[in-house]
Amino acid sequence: MQAFRSAIEAHDLDAVEALLAEDVVFTSPVVFKPYHGKAITAAILRGVARVFEDFRYERVIGDADGRDHALVFTARVGDREIGGCDFLHLDESGRIDELTVMVRPLSGAQALQAAMGAQFEQIAREAQQAQDRSGL
């Protein structure tokens, strides 16, 4: 999905949030239970943007007019190189209703888990503020 890729690459997280469905489900590579809702998903993506360094998409897999897309990326967390993939599913209106992220190797996933754990209080605050603004 070109709009998502462009927004991520431009660090335009407001544009990324606008692409999310209200009922989006985010599946993390380092947490078993999925997260539900636009507010928490957007907050997590903001946290990831603070943690990932040298992030770049390498390629996109999927039909441009289809509802399923895979965006292959590389990044760094501290001194750990990470390879990964964002799997996106679009709802009938073209909004992202499923976002699943997978990363490798294990040492990179562990570095990501530690870095995101350090972000989680801020992520929770941002999600709550977004919910308060939307009245949910």
CA distances, 17 to each of 3, 21, 87, 95, 105 (Å): 11, 9, 16, 10, 28
Residue 82 β-bridge partners: 75
DSSP string of 110-127, one letter each residue: HHHHHHHHHHHHHHHHHH
Whether 136 shows a pLDDT value over 70: the answer reads: no
Structural domains of the chain, with CATH:
2-134 (3.10.450.50)
The tokens of 65 are what? 């007019």
Residue 86 β-bridge partners: 71, 101
52-103 pLDDT, tens digit each: 999 999 999 988 889 999 999 999 999 999 999 999 999 999 999 999 999 9
- pTM reported for the whole predicted model: 0.91
